[in-house]
């Protein structure tokens, strides 16, 4: 299996505008962070997971006042005395802490279920000026088309009433329902908040704090050097966004009062899988490296799973490396160089406990890679069936 519906979960949840090469070094994020012209009162639903802390850090640096609302299960000691923290459980309809309060902006990070939007709106409608919702490119009905843009048709939901079912019931079929439920959540946001809504649809979100290891697999493997098994011919396009670029841009969208729908994917110019790997090599300064490309048919036959990679030209998700991002770039989305993403990600990863580093949560093990490489070379030498 090369790419499953489960791989799409939290897409949104690696775009770097560059490989630290001149052609991809444009559109870089500014080095300094200035104060916003007008400070905002920002409510962030979630805020302690992957991208949320980046939003908080950037918002504070810009001079905004930040309130977090979540279940309180993840301690957030990064901002002592700087951030207001409110607790409640949206799956239980417990939003009492938000009642009677007003904010200029609400950023909704974790919602995958439309009744979460409905319940939040019942408390926040009229008390929030601008609602930003983090969605996903999984909402599109046809993921096979190159050049998917924000006006493409969305996936239809089929199933029980999503407003009546519990989270546990709906998420039990998450591989099939993830995209359609996000699409319903988008529609509910527009229904409840009208035109003052911003929908942000990321693809793969990567960088420091990424616990999925989907992107981490590649720079980690490149840093180890030697012969690397690479799926396809290396020319398949890849897209991703650094979580910091995503989080900071959402704050800027709030500052500008920018409404609409945007595909939050990068880089600014097309990037191939081989381009990504050579960029990782430059960032990690790996000297001894050999890329051995194997056919998609071999990958399928060997039942190998590679993250980020999507074979171009065929398959239900063939367009996921070629999503149109022109509208987001026009709205100010910027990408830091790939080298910065890779270096910072590996520094974060190498500070994790040794047992956590020992077994990545995505990709294949070195042992499995060695077995597959041996099989590929034996096939090439005519010692194994094609």
Residue 174 pLDDT: 64
- Bridge partners (DSSP) of residue 172 are none
Phi/psi region, residue 25 (left: phi>0; alpha: psi -120 to 50; beta: rest), is alpha
- Whole-model pTM: value is 0.89
What sections of 40-113 are H helices per DSSP? 52-61
Which residue, among 264, 254, 241, has the nearest Cα to 328 in the 3D structure? 264
Picking from 151-160, 193-202, 242-251, which range would have the lowest pLDDT averaged per residue? 151-160
Each residue's pLDDT tens digit, 101-157: 999 999 999 898 899 999 999 999 899 999 999 999 999 999 999 999 999 999 999
Residue 320's CATH number: 3.40.50.720
Percent of the chain with pLDDT strictly greater than 90: 77
pLDDT digits over 36-55, tens only? 999 999 999 999 889 999 99
CA distance 131 to 198: 6
Give the pLDDT of residue 2.
Answer: 39
- The number of domains in the chain is 1
Residue 210 domain flag: yes
Residue with more model confidence, 4 or 34 = 34
Judge whether 110 lies within some domain. Answer: yes
Helix (H, G, I), strand (E, B) or coil at 240: strand
Asked whether residue 214 is domain-assigned, the answer is yes
Q: Would 186 be classed as within a structural domain?
A: yes
The contacts of residue 288 (CB under 8 Å, 6+ apart) are 225, 226
* Alpha-carbon 197 to chain mean position: 20
Nearest alpha-carbon partner for 173 in 316, 5, 12, 320? 5
* Domain limits for position 19: 5-380
Bridge partners of residue 133, in order along the sequence:
108, 199
Q: How confident is the model at residue 236 (pLDDT cuts 50, 70, 90)?
A: very high
Q: Which of 179, 142, 181, 175 is nearest to 160 (CA)?
A: 181
Bridge partners (DSSP) listed for residue 252: none
Q: What is the pLDDT of residues 343-384, one digit of tens each?
A: 999 999 999 999 999 999 999 999 999 999 999 999 988 876
In a domain? residue 385: no
Q: Map tokens 């520094």 to a residue.
A: 347
State the average pLDDT over residues 212-240.
Answer: 97
Both tokens of 361, joined, read: 């949560």
More confident residue, 256 or 158: 256
């Amino acid at each position: 299996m090369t790419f499953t519906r489960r791989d799409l979960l939290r897409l949104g949840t690696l775009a770097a505008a560059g490989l630290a090469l001149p052609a991809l070094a444009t559109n870089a994020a500014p080095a300094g962070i200035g104060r916003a012209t007008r400070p905002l009162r920002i409510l962030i639903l979630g805020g302690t997971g992957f991208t949320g802390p980046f939003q908080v850090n950037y918002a504070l640096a810009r001079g905004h006042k930040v309130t977090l609302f979540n279940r309180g299960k993840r301690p957030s000691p990064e901002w002592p005395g700087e951030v207001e923290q409110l607790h409640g459980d949206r799956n239980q309809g417990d939003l009492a802490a938000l009642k009677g309060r007003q904010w200029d902006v609400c950023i909704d990070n974790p919602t995958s279920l439309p009744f979460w939007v409905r319940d939040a709106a019942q408390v926040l409608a009229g008390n929030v000026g601008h609602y930003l919702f983090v969605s996903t490119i999984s909402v599109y009905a046809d993921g096979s088309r190159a050049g998917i843009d924000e006006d493409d048709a969305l996936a239809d939901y089929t199933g029980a009433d999503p407003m009546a079912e519990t989270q546990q019931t709906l998420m039990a079929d998450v591989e099939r329902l993830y995209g359609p439920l996000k699409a319903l959540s988008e529609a509910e946001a527009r229904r409840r908040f009208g035109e003052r809504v911003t929908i942000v649809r990321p693809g793969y979100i990567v960088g420091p704090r990424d616990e999925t290891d989907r992107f981490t697999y590649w720079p980690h493997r490149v840093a180890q050097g030697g012969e690397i098994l690479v799926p396809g011919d290396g020319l398949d396009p890849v897209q991703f966004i650094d979580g910091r670029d995503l989080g900071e841009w959402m704050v800027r969208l709030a500052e500008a009062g920018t409404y609409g729908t945007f595909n939050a994917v990068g880089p600014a110019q097309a990037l191939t899988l081989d381009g990504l790997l050579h960029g990782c090599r430059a960032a990690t300064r790996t000297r001894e490296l050999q890329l051995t490309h194997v056919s998609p048919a071999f990958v399928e036959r060997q039942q190998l799973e590679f993250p980020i990679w999507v074979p171009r030209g065929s398959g239900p998700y063939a367009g996921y490396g070629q999503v149109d991002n022109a509208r987001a770039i026009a709205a100010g989305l910027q990408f830091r160089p790939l080298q910065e993403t890779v270096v910072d990600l590996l520094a974060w990863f190498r500070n994790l406990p040794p047992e956590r580093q020992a077994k990545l949560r995505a990709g294949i093990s070195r042992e499995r890679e060695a077995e597959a490489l041996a099989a590929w070379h034996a096939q090439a030498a005519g010692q194994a069936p094609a």
